[in-house]
Amino acid sequence: MSWSRTTLALAALLALAGCGWQPLYGQVHDANGNAVGGNAGPRLATVHVLPIADRTGQNLYNELRDRINPQGVPATPQYDLVIKLAEHTTQLLILQDQTASRTNLTLNAAFTLYQRGSDKPVLKGTSRSTTTYDLLNDEYATVQAMNDARRRGAQSLADDIATQLAVFLSQPAGS
Q: Tell me: the pLDDT tens digits for 83-134?
A: 999 999 998 867 666 666 889 999 999 999 999 989 999 999 999 999 999 8
Residue 147 belongs to some domain of the structure: yes
Which pLDDT score is estimated for 135?
84
> What is the rounded CA–CA span in Å between residue 119 and residue 147?
34
**Are residues 143 and 119 part of one domain?**
yes
What's the confidence (pLDDT) of residue 144? 95
**According to the model, what pLDDT value does residue 21 have?**
56
Provide the mean pLDDT of the chain: 83
**pLDDT tens, residue by residue, 135-174:** 888 899 989 999 999 999 999 999 999 999 998 988 766 5
Do 97 and 120 fall within a single domain?
yes
Give the residue, 81 or 16, on which the prediction is more confident.
81
- What is the tens place of the pLDDT at every residue in 11-28? 665 555 555 556 666 655
Question: Which of 63, 51, 26 shows the shortest CA–CA distance to 155?
Answer: 63
For 53-63, b/e burial (b = at least 16 CB within 10 A) is: eeebbebbbeb
Q: Number of structural domains, the chain?
A: 2
User: Do residue 65 and residue 106 come from a single domain?
Assistant: yes
30 and 54 inside one domain: no
Domain region containing 102 = 41-169
Write down the pLDDT at residue 1. Answer: 47
Are 97 and 115 a contacting pair, CB within 8 Å? Answer: no
Say if residue 62 is in the same domain as residue 142.
yes
Q: What are the backbone angles phi and psi of residue 160, rounded to the nearest 5°?
A: -70, -45
